[in-house]
Chains A and B, each alone.
Chain A
Amino acid sequence: MAGVSSPPPMDEKAKRTRDLLASFYTNTSNSNSAAPSSPSAASNLTPRSPSSLDSINSPSFDASSYMSLLVQKSNLEGLLQKHVQMAAEIKNLDTDLQMLVYENYNKFISATDTIKRMKSNILGMETNMEQLLAKITSVQSKSDSVNTSLFEKREHIEKLHRSRNLLRKVQFIYDLPSRLNKCIKAEAYADAVRFFTGAKPIFEAYGDSSFQECKRASEEAINTVIQNLQEKLYSDSEPIEARAEAVVLLKQLNFPVDNLKTSLLEKLEDCLLKLEDESKDVSVGEISKTFRAYLIIFPDSEQRLIELAQGLFSRRYDAVRDQLKKRMLSVDLLELLGIIWEDVTTVDQVLPEAALPAYSLESTCSSIRQHISIAFSHLQHEISDAVAGSQSKSNEGRDELDLHIVLENSKKAAMQGSLDLLVELRQFFDEKLELLPKLRELITDWVQEGFQEFFQNLEKHFILLSGSSTNNCHLGESNHSGVLTQSPDKLPTGLVLVLSQLAVFIEQSVIPKITEEIAASFSGGGVRVYEYGPAFIPGEICRLFRSAGEKLLHLYINMKTRKISVVSKKRFTTPNWIKHKEPREVHMFVDILLQELEGVKIEVKQILPCGVIKRHRNSDSVGSGSTNSSRSHPNAMREDKLTRSNTQRARSQFLESHLAKLFEQKMEIFTKVEYTQESVISTVIKLCLKSLQEFVRLQTLNRSGYQQIQLDMEFLKAPLKQLVDDDDAAIDFLLKEVNNAAHERCLDPILLEAPILDKLISAKLVKNKDLSASPL
């Protein structure tokens, strides 16, 4: 590095090397270059950094310090080496310098030669230039003289030309009326209009003075043109293009075209309105043609036309909806919708911007939907009419209502009605209407949804009809059906049973059938996201109707027992049992009781099926676990009591009877009610006997009272057993319970002697027979 000397003598290669090195040591050289600006810092740095000492090229190079450092650091050999190196470098530098001086000198000599040559060349040029100037001046003067001599003639020619043009125009104006007339004859209205518009500015400028006559004539002509054009426009027979051209020409003549347009469109609107009134007169094809023509004639009238078209179809769909309010068949609806759809497609080809298909799709959807919901509400009406209508009929005519027929009718109404509805709705799919496939899934959903709502409403309706729940009335949800609002509590008890059975029928037959049908033809769907899951959930509906059926059945039983309970209450609260007279005959109340029960039997027989007779009801009901008073471990309980009893005093008579009861087989009173004649009747009877027992327990009896009850119960035994075929044991048990209760509540419990009992009962039987025989 130290060997690198001043740049000029270096060849290219050496220079590049140096540049590379310089870029490598940029930082150090920077610090070196910064150093001289602050000499103190430089002096501080120099002793420490040997690199700066080495840089012989830098301006801050200190020869003496470099020397002393070199002497200190290097040994002799090193110094000698350094010396040799330095001497070589100095020699190199000298040769380089010499070379430079020599080269520069050469250049200087050649420059001097060049200058000498230039000086000699310039000397001849000045004279040539002077000659050139003189010639140019003479050319200029000559051209000026030519120009002035030709000026007058040129002016004249220009003037002549102008006047000729003017004359031609005047001629044109004068010719205009005749030319226009010629055009009118030739029906070349376009040319006529072109001519007239060309002349128009002149007329405007000079029309009042020189060309007055001419202007009038041409205006007359052009008015004819306008009239002709208008005629052309109004005439439907003209080709559309000609009419469109006429409009364009009229517009060019500044004729108020908009008025024309509105009048034409109004005419069209009238025409459309007429179309609705007498639908067959004007076909939609023609209308669509008119639409197209107008669209071409008045390109800016599209908006209005769209409105017109939409108006037309919305009116037609409204009409359909109006018709829907009356019950109409799916086929009819489909036919109507089909016609409209065809029309829509025709118009759509002309007016795609009106988005008619979308609108029509929407309207079709809503119409179909409305149709479906109306169909369902009709069905509901039919069913409720089948139930309630018969009621009103019976009110007018016979008192005795044939419940069986009512039940069958309403069953048929429910089953056949819903099946018919399905068949009818399925026509939506059979139809080859282009529109419907798009709606298929939607319709499926609606039908399913419709059934779901229909059944839900029907269930509510049933409950409301039965008038069981006062709460439901306040909800007021089901009040949309007119039949419902009629006083629901007037429903005879028999109809409650009918409703109950109908609910069961719907649950067991109608819903599976419907589910099947829906699966067959209305499956799929689910286009829309339902909050409540799929639209038709047979399980839910089944559950609904099952509970409704049970509710109604219980209501029926409740109504019946309540009636009997009122009778019994009167019987047991009115007499003074403590002063009861000796029993002379079976009490009247027994007849009433039996009569009521007979009534129940008649109603039940008409409606409910015969049950499978179960002789071993007790064991069944224990196993079923639905009982109320079953005992799980009678023996354990008994032992428990016995051990206790040992610690207490001697047992009284009460405990003995209690124990006796424990040993007896426990009777199931409150078993689950089934939908059979036997079950319902026996439930009613059991509940009544239980009530009797409770009534007796509230009284205190003397001996005669006790005997009266004994007599009544004894008499009841046979007819009750007759009513309940399969559960004699329960009847026996309950009658005995009544007697037991009477025994407990009796001050002097002595039973009536058996012969007297028999005598009184047979007397009663004879009397009853007489009574039943005599009125007939």
Chain B
Amino acid sequence: MQGASTGIVYGGLKYQARCIADVRADPDHTSFLAGTLSLKEENEVHLIRLSPSGNELLCEGLFYHQNEIWDLKSCPYDSRILSTVYTSGETYGASVWKIPEISSQSNSPQLDQLVSLDDHTAKIKSVLWWPLGKHDKLVTIDERNIFVWSIDSSNKIAKVISQESVGMLHNLSGGAWDPHDRNAVAAICDSSLQCWDLRTMKNANAIEHAHIRDVDYNPKKQHILATAEDEFGIRLWDLRMPKIPLKELPGHSHWTWAVRHNPEYDGLILSAGTDSTVNLWQVSVGSEDPAIDSPRDKRSRQIDPLLNSYTDYEDSIYGIAWSSQDPSVFASLSYDGRVVVESVKPYIQRK
């Protein structure tokens, strides 16, 4: 059977969970942060580290988090800072936290709240850090608005610089910050993907008629991004040509929930779905137009873009993250709280 368990399993999360994030600012270890989603119990944030031998996942820290976590991001320039989006009943909020110094006497310390991002009037969907390094701004997206914050973590101050509403007719549900352009943010709207220019706070560009669940910029190539959609599975776009997708991948048997580009290997894409699988894809989005090629080439090029399907999961998978420290490793988090770290090395070498 395909995907016989090759991954390293971390069973430390005691509740259901949706969010996992790579700790990009930790240069020495392959670390991930995972947050749980429990309505009634006290939630936890786990700092998980891949042991140096690479065959075990260790819990480096366990921190209590009052509310259930719907979004969790690690600060790209400080490994001890993270942001969460949480709800509790009808209330919602987003905060930036600092992981306290790990002391031996208290095994479950609280996170230090640096800043609470609480100017939101609608349900917060996600917090975005500029992905490639130090930047003093944060973007938060709620159902109706996009906020840009100026953040000073040392003084624990966050100020709203600008804010723009998308209107009552639209529901924002998430987004991604362009790693190539600090002023561009892609926001997922009801039936389109809107690209916002943060300087003017205007919607600059849009991919229309797409019911998108997740979006991810290609970290190597500007203007290229991948979307996870209801109708078409995974599609790759060039933002300069928002009418026609560059590529289509079949996606998953049920919803395709998340899609992530590998930070290092171009064309390697990871997707997670509610059919309890994680798929690894290999697509090349070159400058050449695939339509020009002769039919014969086309026949030979029709290799399956699906490199592997990891199926050893019990429940829907909502969280995936590549490790930026070792780009051949990714972590996946299924709803039942199981973190599985897999290496894609065998598939990279096969190229």
Contact = CB atoms under 8 A, between A and B. Distances in A.
B64 interface: no
Contacts of B38: 654
Contacts of B253: 628, 670, 687
Nearest to A655: B14
A396 to B, nearest CB: 29
B78 to A, nearest CB: 30
28 contacts: A469-B248, A531-B296, A562-B230, A628-B253, A628-B275, A628-B277, A629-B276, A629-B311, A641-B11, A648-B12, A651-B14, A652-B15, A652-B41, A654-B16, A654-B337, A658-B336, A669-B275, A687-B253, A690-B275, A691-B254, A697-B316, A697-B335, A700-B87, A700-B89, A700-B90, A744-B16, A747-B39, A747-B40
B245 interface: yes
Contacts of B254: 669-670, 687, 690-691, 694
Contact of B291 (A475, A628, A629, A651): A475
B15 A628 contact: no
Interface of B: 1, 4, 11-12, 14-16, 38-41, 87, 89-90, 171, 230-231, 244-245, 248, 253-255, 274-277, 291, 295-296, 311, 313-314, 316, 335-337
B254 to A, nearest CB: 5
Contacts of B40: 747
Given A655-B14, A662-B314, A690-B275, 13 more contacts: A469-B248, A474-B291, A578-B90, A629-B313, A632-B4, A641-B11, A654-B41, A661-B314, A669-B254, A687-B253, A690-B274, A691-B254, A700-B87
A687 B252 CA distance: 12
B248 A470 contact: yes
A691 to B, nearest CB: 7
A475 B40 CA distance: 54
Interface string A613-646: 0000000000001001111100000001100100
A587 interface: no
Contact of A625 (B1, B276, B314): B1
A292 interface: no
Interface in A742-758: 744-747
Contacts of B295: 477
Q: Is the interface of A mostly helix, strand, loop or mixed?
A: helix
A632 B230 CA distance: 30
Contacts of B335: 697
B123 to A, nearest CB: 11
Interface string A133-160: 0000000000000000000000000000
Nearest to A741: B335
B1 A694 contact: no
A629 B310 CA distance: 10
Interface string A687-729: 1001100100100100000000000000000000000000000
A165 interface: no
Interface residues of A, number: 44
Contacts of B313: 629
Interface of A: 469-471, 474-477, 531, 558, 562, 565, 573, 578-579, 625, 628-632, 640-641, 644, 648-649, 651-652, 654-655, 658, 661-662, 669-670, 687, 690-691, 694, 697, 700, 744-747
A630 B311 CA distance: 8
A571 to B, nearest CB: 15
A573 B143 CA distance: 12
B318 to A, nearest CB: 9
Contacts of A654: 14-16, 38, 41, 337
Contacts of B41: 652, 654
A487 B103 CA distance: 67
A694 B14 contact: no
A11 to B, nearest CB: 99
Contacts of A746: 39
Contacts of A474: 244, 291
B14 A670 contact: no
Given A470-B244, A644-B11, A744-B16, A632 B231 contact: no
A629 B254 CA distance: 12
A640 B90 CA distance: 38
Nearest to A456: B295
A654 B90 CA distance: 22
Contacts of A531: 296
5 residue pairs, one from A and one from B, having the closest CB atoms: A670-B253, A629-B276, A644-B11, A628-B275, A578-B90
B26 to A, nearest CB: 25
Contact of B275 (A470, A641, A670, A745): A670
A218 B141 CA distance: 120
Nearest to A471: B248
A631 B4 CA distance: 10
A629 to B, nearest CB: 5
Contacts of B1: 625, 630, 632
A222 to B, nearest CB: 75
A555 to B, nearest CB: 10
B89 A648 contact: no
Contacts of B276: 628-629
Nearest to A650: B14
